[in-house]
């Protein structure tokens, strides 16, 4: 494995919600994480493990507790607000509606996305050259969106919107791509299309990627590193070689050993059931 330079460094990241009340929850508990450039990390874990909170902290939706530091590309970003971090970080959400603007056209959505982290001025946002760029970016989806640049995004299906959101997020090539269960709400076929597209974009653009997923099979098949979280901590961290011959059952065992508990997430169990079927073949 070639040594890449560090792209993201988290140190002592803690996040407590509803501090000082009986509902106090420690969502993240002194997390340390080093992400190298071009890493493609899959994060799994049961509900409430802190996966989405981790992405929110990285993206700057809320700050970590005192003492936690976030460094992207050797620059400390711990105190930068979300919109300022956007020049380094792109994010695709679980809900396709969050990643796109319904009342604007595909072209306008993409023109908006293209200017990530760049100053916005009083030039007309789209022109012939940019339209060509948008068409070229949409064509690989095979959804025909490149011929419908003027269509309002609200008229697209959930899967089309999620594919568009992914293309929009990667259009400006952010240093770090965050995928927050971005295929979880899609039907199996569309989920596969979006997943293939993700793989293609990540490989082609060599984007450093953190993907949160509930699906163990996806986590095993994609990425060069696998992280499992539990109760705000990282309990398993495997590199490419360690995860190469892993099965879902190994993962469940690894989880139980690391967390010292029975594995109880019904969502993950469901996927587990599916995969047991496949290994029977």
Partner 1 sequence: MLDVAGHVLSFSLYEGLVFGFVAIGVYLTFRVLGFPDLTVDGSFALGGAVAAVFIASGVNPFLATLAAFGAGLCAGLVTSLLNTKLRIPALLAGILVMVALYSINLRVMGGAYVSLLREVTIFDLTSQFLGLETRIAYSLLVAGVLAVIVFFILNWFLRTEIGLALRATGDNEQMVRGFGVNTDMTTILGVSISNGLVAFGGAVVAQRQGFADVGMGIGIIVMGLASVIIGEALFRPKGVARLLLAALGGAFIYRLVISVALRLGMAPGDLKLITAVLVIIALAVPYLQKRVQREWLPPAARW
Binding site for partner 1 (CB under 8 A): 59, 82-84, 86-87, 90-91, 97-104, 108-109, 111-113, 115-118, 120-126, 152, 168-169
Minimum distance between the CB of residue 265 and partner 1, rounded to whole angstroms? 27
Minimum distance between the CB of residue 178 and partner 1, rounded to whole angstroms? 9
Minimum distance between the CB of residue 153 and partner 1, rounded to whole angstroms? 9
Instruction: Give yes or no for a contact between 180 and 52, defined as CB atoms under 8 angstroms apart.
Output: yes
Tokens standing for 211? 């993907």
> Distance (Å, rounded) from C-alpha 19 to C-alpha 263?
28
Minimum distance between the CB of residue 206 and partner 1, rounded to whole angstroms? 21
CB atoms within 10 A of CB 223: 22
Complex with partner 1: residue 8 or 238, whichever CB lies closer: 8
Minimum distance between the CB of residue 150 and partner 1, rounded to whole angstroms? 9
Complex with partner 1: residue 182 or 230, whichever CB lies closer: 182
Tokens standing for 247? 């099965």
Name residue 228's beta-bridge partners.
Answer: 44, 236
Complex with partner 1: residue 114 or 258, whichever CB lies closer: 114
> Distance (Å, rounded) from C-alpha 22 to C-alpha 279?
45
Tokens standing for 159? 């899967």
147: part of which helix (H) or strand (E)? none
Minimum distance between the CB of residue 212 and partner 1, rounded to whole angstroms? 16
Complex with partner 1: residue 93 or 255, whichever CB lies closer: 93
Complex with partner 1: residue 51 or 91, whichever CB lies closer: 91
Complex with partner 1: residue 35 or 59, whichever CB lies closer: 59
> Distance (Å, rounded) from C-alpha 43 to C-alpha 8?
15
Report DSSP state, residue 153.
Answer: G
Distance (Å) of CA 148 to CA 109, 138, 143, 153? 12, 10, 10, 10
């Amino acid at each position: 494995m070639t040594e890449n330079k560090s792209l993201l460094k988290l140190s002592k990241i803690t996040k407590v919600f509803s501090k000082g009340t009986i509902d106090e929850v420690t969502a993240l508990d002194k997390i340390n994480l080093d992400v190298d450039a071009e890493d493609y990390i899959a994060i799994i874990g049961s509900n409430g493990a802190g996966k989405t909170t981790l992405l929110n902290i990285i993206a700057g939706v809320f700050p970590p507790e005192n003492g936690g530091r976030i460094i992207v590309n050797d620059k400390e970003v711990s105190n930068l607000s979300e919109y300022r971090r956007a020049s380094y970080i792109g994010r695709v959400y679980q809900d396709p509606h969050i990643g796109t603007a319904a009342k604007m056209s595909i072209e306008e959505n993409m023109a908006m996305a293209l200017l990530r982290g760049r100053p916005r001025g009083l030039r007309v946002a789209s022109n012939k050259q940019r339209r060509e760029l948008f068409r070229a970016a949409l064509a690989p989806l095979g959804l025909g969106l490149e011929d419908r640049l003027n269509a309002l995004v609200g008229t697209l299906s959930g899967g089309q919107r999620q594919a568009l959101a992914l293309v929009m997020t990667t259009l400006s090539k952010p240093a770090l791509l965050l995928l927050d269960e971005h295929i979880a709400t899609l039907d199996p076929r569309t989920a596969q299309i979006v997943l293939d597209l993700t793989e293609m974009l990540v490989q082609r653009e060599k984007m450093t990627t953190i993907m949160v997923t509930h699906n163990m099979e996806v986590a095993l098949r994609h990425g060069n590193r696998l992280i499992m979280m539990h109760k705000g901590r990282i309990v398993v961290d495997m590199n490419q070689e360690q995860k190469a011959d892993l099965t879902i059952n190994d993962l469940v065992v690894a989880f139980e050993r690391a967390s010292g508990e029975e594995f109880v997430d019904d969502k993950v169990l469901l996927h587990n059931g599916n995969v047991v079927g496949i290994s029977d073949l």
